[in-house]
Amino acid sequence: MNFLIVILPLIFFIAFKIYHTIKVPEGLKNVPTLSFFKFLYAFLVQDGPDKRWERLREILDKEGIVKVWFNGKWTLIVSDFGFVKDIIMKTDVYPKASLEEIFPGSLLAQYYGTNMVFSNGDVWKRHRRIANPSFRNLPAHVFVESAMKLLNIMEKVDNEPIEVNDFMHRLTLDVLGKVSFGFDFNNLEEPKNIYVNAYNEVIEELSKPLYFIFTFLEYLFPRPEAFKKVAKLNSLYDELVEKKSKLMKTGEIEKKINDNTADLLERMIYACNDPENQTLTSEELRYDMAIFMLAGHDTTANSLSTILYLLAIHKDVQKKVRDEIFRVLGDDLTPNMEQQKELKYMNMVINENLRLYPPIASLPRRINSQDIKFRNHVIPARTPILAFIYGVHHSSKNWEDPEKFIPERFQNEKHDNHAWLSFGGGSRLCIGINFSLMEQRITLCALLRKYEVSLPADSIHKDNLQIASDTSGTMGPLPVHLIFKRRTD
Ligand code: HEM
Ligand SMILES: *[C@@H]1O[C@H](CO)[C@@H](O)[C@H](O)[C@H]1NC(C)=O
Ligand SMILES: *[C@@H]1O[C@H](CO)[C@@H](O)[C@H](O)[C@H]1NC(C)=O
């Protein structure tokens, strides 16, 4: 904290200087502005996307866009549904900014390198082509085993409020490690083990908000310790890639693929063995492992936490979901794909949860390759653009009573104005969508069979779910304590 007291005035001074020397590009002059100081304040008090939306709703509903000076650039925040759709679908006009472009020399750029999420064009195609087949064979039994382990551990705290966000993060980390590269972080049973610590420390370093707003801090106050931690975790991934590449040569991977026990990395290494096609290097495979861990961990954990909260406060919905589980699955613990589709009401609840609390509240930024006309503005080429998904999901222009929890909205799956973008869309649709949905369904099946979930009367969330800051890139709740009462019937 001392560090902050010394450095904050300096930062404010520098920021003030920069603010005054930065000229607004011609095309953005008439775009409403979110003042830098308000923005900085929001960052420092750790506001979440919900507060951001509250502050901007009126102006965004009217204008569709605002600009904010962020990270040395005038950046556009977009909530207009049509514009956001364009941003997602027209990948040539709105290519993604690379991490090196956004945060040059940063820890983030070093750790995640060129990966599937932050690349474009042919490089992205190569990553996606190699990874696509592996995501078509998801091991439902791993999801079930992990859910069972979760229940066993929860058993020990039965009848006391349980902080679900922590449990869900431990669950999803274990699942990702196992499904992605056959590694058991064992975060559920042993939350303080060295691999979990290494992982958590890296994520913590990567999420420091000040380093996000002011990338030059990386040069002013370098973090050699943090870089060392990153190197350590990278070497774990490298070892796994190397080990599995050897298994490729002995034919063991092919065997695992044939009996359907291969993990994502093994399937990707297998796909790389096509002499006709370009492949991924070991380094690129490692970057993809790191990005899977990032993209699939907090996102799924947060959506499980928020859905459990919603079920806790909507007991009628909880009962309906549970009845459906028993009706569709009976005693079957491992629902096949067909049965998962049959869980129609649960799927509606999952969609509505992701609408209200989209874990990726703002898409990673794009930088437009050409001038863009939007209403009476001409957005100049090379403007950083953030598609504000939370705003699309919470605007009354797109949804009736947007703040209300109404799963039945999704009864009619194909209404025209389907402003639901939790997983993005188009060719860049989340590759982990089925992974995450399967994990959510299986975890809910396990929990709801056994427990009745409710919110303690003195919960900080009793009026509204309290949302944490999304500086790490994902949106989620503050700790949520819920009561899990063993069902008797
Ligand atoms: C509730 C859970 C999840 C949510 C809300 C979510 C959301 C998203 C969104 C919005 C995008 C598009 C980003 C953009 O257009 O800029 C995306 C892409 C991606 N997600 Fe997810 N995701 C989830 C789970 C997962 C999981 C479990 C994995 C991997 C195991 C994963 C891996 C990826 C990857 C690799 C991409 C990049 C795809 C590409 O650009 O081709 N995600 N995700
Ligand atoms: C590369 O792989 C893709 C998809 O599997 C395939 O359609 C294409 O024909 C391959 N290219 C070459 C040169 O073999
Ligand atoms: C998800 O699964 C459905 C079938 O259930 C499939 O049509 C779709 O292509 C899958 N999506 C991805 C991104 O793998």
| CATH code assigned at 461 | 1.10.630.10
Q: What is the DSSP string of 59-71?
A: HHHHHSEEEEEET
In 3D space, the residue among 52, 116, 102, 38 whose CA is nearest the CA of residue 427 turns out to be 116
- Tell me the residue type at 373: K
Q: Quick check: CB of 177 below 6 Å from ligand 1?
A: no
Minimal-distance CA residue to ligand 3 atom 1: 434
Instruction: Give me the residues of the chain with pLDDT under 50, please.
Output: none
Q: What is the DSSP string of 306-359?
A: HHHHHHHH-HHHHHHHHHHHHHHHTT-SS--HHHHHH-HHHHHHHHHHHHHS-S
pLDDT for residue 192? 86
Is residue 1 domain-resident? no
Is residue 32 domain-resident? yes
Residue 113 domain boundaries: 23-486
Is residue 5 domain-resident? no
Q: Quick check: CB of 429 below 6 Å from ligand 3?
A: yes
Burial of 7 (0-12, 13-18, 19+ CB in 10 A): middle
Phi, psi of 261 (to 5 degrees): -115, 5
Tell me which H or E stretch contains 246: helix 224-249
Query: Longest Cα pair distance anywhere in the chain, in angstroms?
Result: 69
Minimal-distance CA residue to ligand 2 atom 5: 129
Is residue 12 domain-resident? no
Phi, psi of 182 (to 5 degrees): 65, 30
Residues with CB under 6 A from ligand 2: 129, 276-277
Is residue 76 domain-resident? yes
In 3D space, the residue among 153, 154, 167 whose CA is nearest the CA of residue 480 turns out to be 167
pLDDT for residue 489? 72
pLDDT for residue 230? 86
Distance 136 CA to ligand 3 centre (A): 7
Is residue 66 domain-resident? yes
Report helix, strand or coil for 274: coil
Q: Quick check: CB of 423 below 6 Å from ligand 1?
A: yes
Please give the span between the terminal C-alpha atoms of the chain, in angstroms, as a whole number: 52
Distance 133 CA to ligand 3 centre (A): 11
pLDDT for residue 325? 97
Is residue 8 domain-resident? no
pLDDT tens digit string along 226-269? Answer: 888 888 888 989 999 999 999 999 999 999 999 989 999 999 99
- The gap from C-alpha 151 to its chain's centroid, in whole angstroms, comes to 24
Count of domains for the chain: 1
pLDDT tens digit string along 338-388? Answer: 999 999 999 999 999 999 999 999 999 999 999 999 999 999 999 999 999
Its pTM surpasses 0.85: yes
Helix axes 282-313, 164-181, angle to 10 degrees: 150
Is residue 13 domain-resident? no
